[in-house]
Amino acid sequence: MAIVTGAGTGIGEAIAHKFAKEGARVVVSGLQDDPIEDVAESIRDKGGEAVAFGGDISEAGVAKECVDFATNKFKRLDVLINNAGVFLDNAMTEDYPIEDFDQTIRMNIRSAFLMTRFALPHLQKTRGNIVSAGSESGMIGLAQNTTYGGTKGWMHAFMRGVAVEQAQNGVRANCVCPGPIDTAWTHKETGPMDKQMETALIQATPLARRGTTEEVANVYAFLASDEASYVTGALYVVDGGTTIAKGPVGDLVPKELRKEPKGELDLQHRHDGLRNKETHRIKAKK
């Protein structure tokens, strides 16, 4: 039984579907106006078991309610996936809106802390595990959204601390660290990135394309499974090689090698993650 946060859109949608396909019962957590009911229904239509939970899990009461909802309904909790997060800005640090800094800390950090805190007593009973959304940007930083990169560096250290501390309770904790993934965030039409940022993102990726949400979900499924029983405190990069690239090496890759795998999951909300949020693209002063 797994809780997947931020599961109405993007990578979370794919994780929820993948886990259900592998036989997990899933709580599809997201903001009230995320398409969480739609994702849960789509999983049930395919014979899986899923229920939606709507609410802002950066509020302590709501995070507790989400864990209580899952454990009351399914009588256990085996896996917590801390996937929820926001990417609100493309701005130099000197121009970064202070309210977006606070919001990014809340949505990316506070939510993961609260969910982990409330889930741990249940995970200790099942010898369960946690997999959280890190990022290559948590390793090498992210220009023009330095706040976001910082939240992911926090996530890496948080999960590693939890991994060491909770080993004595039989609980593992890991991070999946994606590179540029094909969600709302990495397209200029649906997020704060501009053309220049979008191009640089692909050029700096040796595999020369965005990863699919399903390619990321596959690694979540591995880390959450018993097949990863000796893996804890890992920062598992799923980044097309971004963190090891020097310069625009993506340009070397021929077109025919840049095709995304078709995948198996039926996903409808890949690019919907920022529809209900205000984002900012602030031009740097010359």
Q: Which positions are annotated as active-site residues?
A: 148
Kindly state whether residue 273 participates in binding ligand NAD, applying the rule CB under 6 A: yes
Query: Which residues inside 44-63 make contact with ligand NAD, applying CB under 6 A?
Result: 56-58
Cβ of residue 207: shortest distance to ligand NAD, in angstroms? Answer: 14
Cβ of residue 121: shortest distance to ligand NAD, in angstroms? Answer: 21
The rounded distance, in Å, linking the Cα atoms of 189 and 171 is 40
Residue 81 has what DSSP assignment? Answer: E
Query: Which residues inside 108-167 make contact with ligand NAD, applying CB under 6 A?
Result: 111, 133, 135
The residue from 1, 2, 4, 6 that contacts ligand NAD (CB under 6 A) is 6
The secondary structure of 174-192 as a DSSP string is EEEEE-SBSSGGG-TTTSS
Kindly state whether residue 39 participates in binding ligand NAD, applying the rule CB under 6 A: no
Binding mask 174-203 for ligand NAD (x = CB under 6 A): ----x-xx-xxxx-----------------
Kindly state whether residue 237 participates in binding ligand NAD, applying the rule CB under 6 A: no
Which span (30-38, 70-78, 93-101, 253-261) binds ligand NAD, by CB under 6 A? 30-38
* Nearest residue (CB) to ligand NAD, 38 versus 49: 38
Residue 135 CB partners (closer than 8 Å, separation 6+): 142, 149, 152, 155, 177, 178
* 255-260: long-range pairs with CB below 8 Å, 24+: 257/208, 258/207, 258/208, 258/209, 259/209, 260/182, 260/209, 260/210, 260/212
The residue from 9, 71, 104, 145 that contacts ligand NAD (CB under 6 A) is 9
Q: Are the CB atoms for 142 and 186 separated by under 8 Å?
A: no
The residue from 1, 3, 4, 11 that contacts ligand NAD (CB under 6 A) is 11
With b for 16 or more beta-carbon neighbours within 10 A and e for fewer, the 242-261 pattern comes to: bbebeeebbeeeeeeeeeee
- The CA–CA distances, whole Å, from 237 to 117, 125, 136, 156, 178 equal 25, 29, 7, 11, 6
Number of amino acids touching ligand NAD (CB under 6 A): 31
Q: Which residues of this protein are in contact with ligand NAD, per CB under 6 A?
A: 5-6, 8-12, 29-31, 34, 56-58, 83-86, 107, 111, 133, 135, 178, 180-181, 183-186, 273-274
